[in-house]
Every structure is written in structure tokens, then in C-alpha cells.
Amino acid sequence: MPVVGISCYVEPARWGAWDTPAALVPKLYVDLLQAAGAQVVILPPEQEPSVLDRLDGLVLVGGADIDSTRYNQEPHATADSPRTARDTSEFALYEYARTRNIPVLGICRGLQVMAVAHGGSLIQDLPSVSDTGVHREQPGQFVQHGARFAAGSRIAEIFATTDFEVNSSHHQAVDSPGDLTVTGWAPDGTIEVCEFPDNSFCLGVQWHPEQP
């Protein structure tokens, strides 16, 4: 049974009598990986990347915006406050996995981590360049839209089609993919999928496949 590591949030949380910073991840990620036959290990920020030597794969999950200084831009007025420890941890985990050909799936923010790690950059405020209703009507809600996949790509192979319906809930997106290969697009041209074909499995999607 494969063992998959999932990056996680560190955010203020309340439960029972407690109100404290917590390392957490939406349970849907865990549920679907377990349903697919994987054991799951949650990887908090500041985890040594070498933990991946004990694992069979890495999932970089969604979350707050990446610090724009990582791709040499000033932060947009709408950008989230930086999660510096999480940024540092996820970039280190990704580089460790990529250089050792450990399978990687990036989801939403995870795709953006991949793009920036490969020398790319992000659109910091997607509503400024595209109809916001296409990708998120308001935070915490998902919208549905079509996506087109490149023929012969890994993503087209996985879904056995080049036309697919995806969900969206994001206000940033990949601008330049660096040396990743773009293999999926929304109708407005927003990048939906990037792949790193030098590795056996290294793929990022802008949507949230864990959502029903």
C-alpha cells in the first residue's frame, strides 16, 4: 500500500476548549487518497524534506497565496499575507521530490508552487485580467467550467479525454510556467494543468479534484 505525504496549513483554529494555531488539512484530501488505496501522512511546515525518502508520493494542497517576492514581484493589494514557513517548506519538499523522481501532484496552490519553483510567475489578481465569475464568484465557493487538455498529455491520458469539466475557487493563477509544460487551459486561456515530463509523474492542476 503506497504511503503519500500531504502538505498542510498552519492557521488559527478553534475546537472544543481550544483556540490555537493548528497544523491541519481539509479531510477530503485524506478521504480520497485513502479511498484510492493510499496511507496518508500529513507533513507540517518545517518538516525535513528527507522525510520523503520514506514515502511513495507527495501532494501539495491548496491554500493561501505564495509570497510574490519568490518570483520577484511586489505583492498585489489583494494578496494574502505571506505564510513564510509554509512557502519555505513546500518549495523544499517539491525540489526534493522532483530531483529524486518521487511522484508529485500539485493542487491549486500546489500547481503554483511548482510553476514558481521552475522559474515561472503568477497572475496575482485573476479578476483583473479575466471574468472573476469564471474562476471564483466569492471565496469559499466553487464554480464549474470547461477545460481543454493537450492531446497525448498525461492529464489527457488519465481522464481519457481532451475536454473535461473542472471546478475553480482561486484568485491567482499561473502566468509563466517556467520550464514546466502547459497541458491544460480554461476557456479564457487560464492555465489549468502543468506537467514536468522529465519525471515519471509530476503534474499540477489548478482546480480541486478532491471536491465532489
In 3-state terms, what secondary structure has residue 16? coil
State yes or no: is 95 an active-site residue. no
State yes or no: is 145 an active-site residue. no
Q: Which one from 90, 192, 195, 210 is the annotated catalytic residue? A: 210
- Angle made by CA atoms 196, 185, 62, in degrees to the nearest 5: 65
Q: Per DSSP, which regions of 16-99 are E strands? A: 18-24, 39-43, 57-60
State yes or no: is 210 an active-site residue. yes
Q: Which one from 135, 170, 171, 208 is the annotated catalytic residue? A: 208
- Rounded Cα distance between 165 and 145, Å, is 6
Count of Cβ atoms closer than 10 Å to residue 103 Cβ: 17
Q: Which one from 8, 108, 194, 202 is the annotated catalytic residue? A: 108
- Rounded Cα distance between 180 and 120, Å, is 8
Lookup: cell for 63: 491554500
In 3-state terms, what secondary structure has residue 17? coil
- Rounded Cα distance between 63 and 76, Å, is 17
Known catalytic residues are 108, 208, 210
